[in-house]
Amino acid sequence: MITDYFLSIAIMICMYSILAVSLNMILGFTGLLNLGHAAFFALGAYTSALLSLAGFSFWISMISGGCVAALFGLVIGGSSLRLRGDYLAIATLGFGEIVRILLKNGGDLTRGALGLVGIPRPSFFGIVIKTQLQYFVLYLIIAVLCIFLLWCIAQSPFGRVLRGIREDELAVSSLGKNVFQYKVIAVSLGACFAGIAGSLFAHYITYIEPNSFGFMESIIIVCMVVLGGLGSIAGSVLGAVLLIIFPELFKMVVQEWLPVSIEMQAGIKFLLYGVILVVLMLYKREGLLGEKRRGNHDLAS
Amino acid sequence: MDLSIAVQLVLNSILAGGIYALIALGYTMVYGVLKFINFAHGEIFMIGAYTAYAASVALPMQVAVPFSWFMSILVVLFLAYHIPFDSFFKKRVWYQYLIIAGILLVVAKSISYFFLYLLVHALPLWISALISIIVCAILGFVIEKVGYKKLRGKDRLTPLITAIGFSIILQALALLMFGGEIRSFEYKTQESYEVFGASITPHQLLIILTSIIIMILLHLFLKYTKYGKAMRAVTDNMDVAKIIGINPDKVISLVFMIGSGLAAVAGILIGIEQNLHPTMGIVPGIKAFTAAVIGGIGNIYGAVLGGYFIGFAENIGIWFIPSGYKDAIAFVILLLMLLLKPSGFFGQQKEEEVRA
């Protein structure tokens, strides 16, 4: 079914939009490079999958997925946010890999590399979400809600403080704000929404395994945020849309003339991601929709 | 545990440690000069392994042709940075770029035939190693000139994201050229020597000795040659080095070339023992970074010690915990180091540089 195919792409876009906007909270607004965002995604997915398998309802498991990820964000943030920008990036990368390794060796609970299978589909008020269209409508509503919430947070005084931290940490702390506390809250907020996205992912694919939450996944999310523009919520959504649609478009168009193996498709996709990162950083640091920075402000020191 | 197992663990640790130390040297040298984490370093290690593999076996045509193009384009870019094209034209005109691109393409095409010849024949290991070191040194040079040079003096995240971009590009290129399947140098299994009941193959002995010899050579280079001294001077204080007439651009290029060459050596050494895969660079890259952090990033001798420390911690650690957690050991050490003592054990660097 061709409509189902398009709908499945749209559903992926919904999930990745949440992920990209939630990372934007951390990377774009606060200026903290988080290379372990896929770990929050994974924690949300695993938590909600395990709860669903234990018989809890979709909503409860989704919310608790978000909460566990947020808690984890609190731990990561609390322990590593005193590090400077590039060291923080490597530390979050380390955290992300540790989470993946723990899930892989989690024994009977996470079933290791085999992953969790047969995650129940979302159901409420007696309706079981089965078709792609139902999934799309449900996920679209959740995505819009999440993004709206994050947008509200970004517009609030709290969001302004975060942007202030990105521009000049010293100035913000001289205004009497506890910079460290703000950073930790920003990270755990981003983590919470990434966890919700993970829960959506688990309930849509109904099968999760540790290797789908590797370092590459984190990089893809970073790439979406950078492409869309740091600090722009519409930009992150645009980045997610473009980076999900392009590989699919490529598959459809090129496959007609050139038979390309799945491996080649992956290679070309990653090549594109890499080129986007390099070209944007060298020539257009504000991304597609990011706010143009006046003066020679640094991203984060 | 009895003696033979202990000796075996120590041998394995020295083996892995030497390789981590070689990669860590590249990280720490670049950090010393430019104060930034060259994330693409692990991928240069991977390209080094693949290049040595490609030269030492007879590659089939459909792999050899794209790889020969990759190598020739790198060489042409390297040469192009040394030719003052602007002086050939009386004034700047738009079509000069077309002419230059055309000339470079023709040169690249002819060089690619030379590489193709090398790739489709099986060359002895030492020649393939030489080719791999040269290609990686050039790759390091080109990446620095194309990417990092423009970002010098900017904030810290921009070069890091650029470096991540380059590392993905290199991974993707390796995947496109060689495919995702696991490759190996196709050596026959060798008879092993017995040392106190532990076994060691001639290849493993080669790895241990080569890594130690290379590090001694690097030490002599830094200590006694003009370029080595210039490199240390720039690491120490770039502004003062400029004042006394050292060209920092040249030194930075040299640092990238030497660091990448060392990564290539590590790649070749690991390629002899283990399988090659386009993603093989990530995990050793992070472990080597950990080694550099342990040694106090920027400190060359610290990086060597850190490399061996990681090697020992990992190989002795899996004696006590399940082997599935082997990679986690280095990550946990990395986090503990970053959180508790980010200046490393031998760093001259101050804490404030690392803390936000």
Q: In angstroms, rounded to a whole number, what is the distance separating the alpha carbons of residues A24 and A28?
A: 4
* pLDDT over 60 (residue B356): no
Q: Please determine, for residue B355, whether its predicted confidence score (pLDDT) is greater than 70.
A: no
Give the mean pLDDT of A56-78: 89
- Looking at residue A67, what is its pLDDT? 92
Decide which of B66 and B197 is more confident.
B66
| pLDDT of B338 higher than 70 | yes
* pLDDT value, residue B188: 67
Examine residue A71 and state whether it is found in any structural domain, yes or no.
yes
B331 vs A: CB within 8 A: yes
What is the gyration radius of the CA atoms in chain B, in angstroms?
21
Banded model confidence at residue A293, pLDDT cuts 50, 70, 90: low
What value does the mean pLDDT take over residues A99-114?
Answer: 79
**In a domain? residue A194:** yes
* Residue entry with tokens 């690392």: B354
Contact state of B157 with A277 under an 8 Å Cβ cutoff: no
Chain A closest CA to B267's CA: distance in Å? Answer: 21
Answer whether residue A247 shows pLDDT above 90: no
* A-contacting residues in B 265-284 (Cβ below 8 Å): 282
Whether the predicted pLDDT of B352 surpasses 50: no
Domain spans, chain B? 3-57+128-168+179-353, 59-121
What are the backbone angles phi and psi of residue A127, rounded to the nearest 5°?
Answer: -95, 130
Q: Which CATH class is domain B3-57+128-168+179-353?
A: mainly alpha
* Residue B109 touches partner A, C-beta closer than 8 Å: no
Give residue A180's domain range: 2-213
Bridge-partner residues for A207, per DSSP?
Answer: A117
Residue A281 near chain B (CB below 8 Å): yes
Residue A264 resides in a domain: no
What is the share, in percent, of chain B residues with pLDDT greater than 70? 96
In a domain, A82, yes or no: yes
Q: Report residue A292's pLDDT band, with 50, 70 and 90 as the boundaries.
A: low
Interface contact B169-A278, CB threshold 8 A: yes
* pLDDT at res. A119: 79
Give the residue carrying structure tokens 């490199």.
Answer: B231
Q: What is the pLDDT of residue A114?
A: 78
In whole angstroms, what is the distance from residue A29 CA to residue A182 CA?
Answer: 11
pLDDT for the residue B140: 93
Which residues 37-56 on chain B approach chain A with CB closer than 8 angstroms?
37
Give the model's pLDDT for residue A301.
41
Quote the pLDDT of residue B10: 87
Of the candidates B324, B331, B338, the beta carbon closest to that of A87 is on: B338
pLDDT-based confidence at A281, cuts 50/70/90?
confident
Is B354 near chain A, with CB under 8 Å?
yes
Q: Do B355 and A83 touch (CB under 8 A)?
A: yes
The token duo for B196 is 């106190």
Between positions 147 and 166 of A, the ones with CB within 8 A of B are none
For A29-50, the pLDDT digits (tens) are: 888 888 889 999 999 999 998 8
Report which of residues A61 and A129 the model is more confident about. A61
Distance between CA atoms of residues B286 and B334, nearest Å: 9
Going by C-alpha positions, the residue among B114, B136, B169 that lies closest to residue B45 is B136
Non-local CB neighbours of A200 within 8 Å, separated by 6+ positions: A14, A15, A18, A62, A139, A142
Q: What is the pLDDT averaged over residues A109-122?
A: 77
Distance in Å, alpha carbon of A83 to nearest chain B alpha carbon: 4
Residue A299 has, within 13 A of its CA and on its CB side, a CA count of 28
How buried is A139 (Cβ within 10 angstroms: 0-12 exposed, 13-18 middle, 19+ buried)? buried
ipTM higher than the 0.90 cut: no
Mutate to test the interface with B, among A35, A81, A97 (most CBs of B within 10 A): A97
* Residue range B256-271, pLDDT digits in tens: 999 999 999 999 988 8
A193 lies in a domain?
A: yes
Number of domains in chain A: 1
Euclidean distance between CA atoms A236 and A20, whole angstroms: 5
Percent of chain B with pLDDT over 90: 21
pLDDT value for B258: 92
Contact B175 A270 (CB under 8 A): yes
Question: From A167, which residue of chain B is nearest by alpha-carbon distance?
Answer: B155
What is the rounded average pLDDT of the residues A154-170? 87
B342 touches chain A (CB under 8 A): yes
Q: A170, A171, A197, A161: which is closest to A48 by C-alpha?
A: A197
**Is residue B3 pLDDT above 60, yes or no?**
yes
Check pLDDT > 80 for residue A257: no
A1 has pLDDT over 50: yes
Answer yes or no: is pLDDT of B349 > 80.
no
Amino acid B299: pLDDT: 82
Check residue A296 and give its pLDDT: 47
Report pLDDT for A173: 85
Give the C-alpha separation, B345 to A170, whole Å: 29
pLDDT at residue B139 in the model: 94
Residues 6+ apart with CB under 8 A from A255: none
pLDDT the model gives residue A93: 87
Run of H or E residues at B116:
helix B95-120
Judged by DSSP in three states, A138 sits in: helix
pLDDT of A151 above 60: yes
Please report the residues numbered 195 through 254 in chain A whose beta carbons come closer than 8 angstroms to any beta carbon of chain B. Answer: 215, 219, 222, 226
Q: How many CA atoms does the CB half-sphere of A180 hold within 13 Å?
A: 10
Considering only CA atoms, which of A130, A124, A119, A147 is closest in space to residue A15? A147
Cβ distance B37 to A31 less than 8 Å, yes or no, reads no
Q: Check CB contact of A89 with chain B, cutoff 8 Å.
A: yes
Residue A50, both tokens: 């395990």
Residue in A closest to B351 by C-alpha: A83
* Chain A residues touching residue B328 (CB < 8 angstroms): 97-98, 101-102
pLDDT at residue A127 tops 70: yes
pLDDT tens column, B307-328: 999 999 988 888 888 877 888 8
CB within 8 Å of B195: residues ≥ 6 apart: B7, B11
Across the range A93-116, mean pLDDT stands at 81
pLDDT in tens, B173-189: 999 888 878 888 777 66
With 50 as the cut, is the pLDDT of residue B40 above it?
A: yes
Do residues A129 and A135 lie in contact, with contact meaning Cβ atoms separated by under 8 Å? yes
pLDDT at A300: 45
User: Residue A295: which pLDDT band, with cuts at 50, 70 and 90?
Assistant: very low
CA distance B287 to chain A (A): 10
Pick from B154, B331, B342: which is nearest to A94 by CB? B331
**From residue A168, how far is each of A16, A33, A179, A186 by CA, in Å?**
30, 16, 11, 16
The angle at the Cα of B53, spanning B48 to B55, to the nearest 5 degrees, equals 100
**Alpha-carbon dihedral angle through residues A106, A107, A111, A114, given to the nearest 10 degrees:** 90
pLDDT of residue B354: 54
Question: Which amino acid, one-letter code, is at B20?
Answer: Y
Tell which of A277, A284, A285 to mutate to test the B interface (max B CBs under 10 Å): A277
Residue A110: pLDDT above 60?
Answer: yes
Looking at the complex, does the CB of residue B336 fall below 8 Å from at least one CB of chain A? Answer: no
Identify any residues that bridge with B193 across adjacent strands, giving them in sequence order.
B200
Q: By the 8 A CB rule, do B26 and B102 touch? A: no
- Cβ within 8 Å, pair B286-A93: yes
- Terminal-residue alpha carbon distance, chain A: 50
Q: Give A-chain residues touching B179 at CB under 8 angstroms.
A: 263
Q: What are B45-103's pLDDT values in tens digits?
A: 999 999 999 888 888 888 888 888 888 989 998 888 888 777 777 777 778 888 888 88
Residue B132's contacts (CB-CB under 8 Å, 6 or more residues apart) are B48, B49, B51, B52, B55, B264, B267, B268
A43 contacts A72 by C-beta, under 8 angstroms: yes
Buried b (16+ CB within 10 A) or exposed e, A231-265: bbbebbbbbbbbbbeebeeeeeeeeeeeeeeeebb
Nearest CA to CA, how far is B43 from chain A (Å)? Answer: 13
Q: What is the pLDDT of residues A163-200, one digit of tens each?
A: 888 888 888 888 888 888 888 999 999 999 999 999 99
Min Cα–Cα distance to chain B from A242, Å: 17
pTM of the full structure: 0.88
SS3 A173: helix
Q: Do A98 and B331 touch (CB under 8 A)?
A: yes
- Whether residue B351 is predicted with pLDDT greater than 60 in this model: the reply is no
